[in-house]
């Protein structure tokens, strides 16, 4: 079932206030709905409930400062959850709010919390069409005869403070002419428990009304007359949002009061230093470079026979150098002389034999570079893999270090921390600290999956 503000259907009455102030009793006596009430200061109403008849829909709520130790914010979330469940297009219409209070000259913490909760009902109101003054639709019900007019000042001051805070937070610039005036009704219903010898039974109705004392029949007409003067209608809007630090999702007023703290200690990464190579592996020649003639026969991997070595020595002697002498550029003299190549090819080169490319004798210095490891010319496919940054082999540990986050779900490049500094759990999970302000990210559209945060 959905509650609609259209037409002339039943009026929606929201009863809110402290434990034992008569919310459930009012529902039954004044509005004729079948509520279940407690006695004294015991809280019978455990969950927000909606009762209805042909004329009224009465929302009965658990009391603030619950005798069972329930947190006031839990009571508020419970109440708001029911409204959201009955909302249409994320809007819920309340016609009249009854705020039940005890007699009080001073604004104490209990009254201020209650006033703040009432003001939060219009947290997401359309301020282009509504000034945020929810108190025009509030009637304060003072339980007691209120022998002094000052005994209603406590809740009225709390209402003004809540409205002032709302104006400042919303930066309402034209609020100078806004007047916060809250109507109240003091009452004591003397015949609820049907005590025959009650002193009020002997008093005339006129006398009792001076002391704000009513019978069950009288109080109904009095309340209905009083609420008829109030402007009917407060629209409660619901929004969709997420908390960036915990797993809360939906309307921020319904968020759990547990979250991951933003400081002391702040969120962090699980940092570990990692060795890495900044450049990729490349294949190349990394053995000593020798110079050979391009058209000389390159040896294969066959063994060099002793006769070939003898040929190499002969080739070296032919140019008057020891075979072990060092040649230019640190190249083996025997290689430069061509003796080894000649021996490997089974050929003894002489000074008359020339390279077709450079036209120099094979006994002279070679004209192309060759890898001594694989015997391939430089420029051909390499024989070893090494990192381009440091020339280290691929089995070596990285040549540079960098911080990484070892949390699997984390992308360190985004810089946003990934775990709670207090409990070490991943952000986006259930919070660990009570009464921590949420980091709210509002959705552009109702649960628009394209919205990121």
Inside any domain, residue 433: no
pLDDT of residue 38: 54
Q: How many domains does the chain have?
A: 2
Are residues 151 and 58 part of one domain?
yes
Are residues 53 and 144 part of one domain?
yes
Inside any domain, residue 334: yes
pLDDT of residue 241: 96
Domain boundary, last residue among 238, 253, 275: 238
Inside any domain, residue 160: yes
pLDDT of residue 310: 37
Are residues 228 and 137 part of one domain?
yes
Domain boundary, last residue among 223, 238, 253: 238
Are residues 43 and 180 part of one domain?
yes
Domain boundary, last residue among 171, 205, 238: 238
Inside any domain, residue 256: no
Are residues 314 and 228 part of one domain?
no
Q: Which domain holds residue 67?
A: 11-238
Inside any domain, residue 173: yes
Domain of 167, CATH number, reads 3.40.50
Q: What is the dihedral of CA 396, 402, 406, 411, to 10 degrees?
A: -120
Are residues 45 and 139 part of one domain?
yes
Are residues 340 and 201 part of one domain?
no
Inside any domain, residue 249: no
Q: Give residue 386's region: left, alpha or beta (phi > 0; psi -120 to 50).
A: beta
pLDDT of residue 380: 85
For the chain, residues with pLDDT lower than 70 are 1-8, 37-44, 66-70, 175-176, 196-197, 296-349, 351, 445-453
pLDDT of residue 2: 36
Are residues 68 and 200 part of one domain?
yes
Are residues 169 and 97 part of one domain?
yes
Are residues 233 and 294 part of one domain?
no
Inside any domain, residue 425: no
Are residues 217 and 68 part of one domain?
yes
Inside any domain, residue 93: yes
Are residues 156 and 49 part of one domain?
yes
Q: Are strands 11-17 and 96-102 parallel, antiparallel or unpaired?
A: parallel
């Amino acid at each position: 079932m959905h509650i609609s503000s259209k037409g002339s259907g039943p009026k929606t009455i929201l009863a809110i206030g402290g434990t034992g102030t008569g919310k459930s009793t009012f529902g039954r006596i004044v509005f004729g709905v079948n509520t279940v009430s407690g006695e004294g200061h015991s809280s019978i109403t455990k969950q927000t409930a909606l009762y209805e008849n042909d004329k009224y829909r009465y929302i009965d709520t658990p009391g603030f400062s619950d005798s069972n130790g329930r947190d006031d914010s839990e009571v508020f979330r419970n109440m708001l959850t029911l409204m959201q469940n009955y909302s249409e297009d994320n809007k819920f219409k309340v016609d009249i709010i009854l705020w039940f209070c005890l007699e009080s000259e001073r604004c104490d913490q209990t009254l201020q919390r209650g006033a703040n909760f009432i003001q939060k009902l219009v947290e997401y109101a359309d301020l282009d069409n509504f000034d945020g003054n929810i108190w025009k639709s509030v009637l304060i019900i003072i339980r007691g005869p209120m022998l002094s007019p000052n005994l209603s000042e406590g809740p009225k001051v709390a209402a003004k403070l809540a409205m002032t805070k709302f104006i400042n937070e919303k930066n309402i610039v034209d609020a100078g002419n806004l007047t916060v005036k809250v109507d109240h009704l003091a009452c004591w219903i003397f015949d609820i428990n049907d005590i025959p010898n009650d002193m009020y039974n002997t008093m005339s109705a006129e006398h009792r009304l001076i002391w704000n004392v009513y019978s069950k029949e009288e109080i109904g007409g009095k309340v209905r007359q009083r609420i008829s003067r109030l402007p009917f209608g407060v629209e409660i809007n619901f929004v969709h949002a997420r908390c960036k630090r915990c797993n809360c999702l939906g309307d921020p007023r319904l968020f759990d009061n547990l979250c991951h703290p933003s400081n002391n200690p702040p969120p962090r990464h699980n940092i570990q230093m990692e060795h890495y190579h900044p450049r990729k592996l490349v294949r190349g020649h990394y053995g000593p470079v020798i110079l050979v003639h391009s058209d000389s026969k390159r040896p294969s991997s066959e063994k060099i026979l002793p006769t070939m070595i003898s040929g190499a020595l002969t080739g070296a002697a032919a140019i008057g150098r020891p075979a072990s002498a060092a040649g230019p550029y640190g190249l083996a003299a025997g290689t430069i002389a061509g003796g080894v190549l000649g021996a490997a090819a089974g050929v003894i080169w002489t000074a008359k034999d020339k390279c077709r490319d450079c036209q120099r004798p094979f006994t002279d210095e070679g004209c192309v570079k060759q890898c001594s490891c694989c015997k391939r010319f430089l420029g051909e496919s390499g024989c070893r893999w090494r990192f381009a940054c440091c020339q280290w082999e691929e089995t070596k540990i990285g040549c540079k270090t960098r911080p990484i986050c070892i949390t699997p779900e984390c992308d360190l490049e985004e810089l946003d921390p990934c775990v709670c500094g207090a409990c070490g759990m991943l952000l986006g999970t259930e919070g660990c600290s009570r009464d921590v302000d949420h980091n709210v990210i509002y959705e552009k559209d109702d649960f628009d999956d394209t919205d990121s945060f």
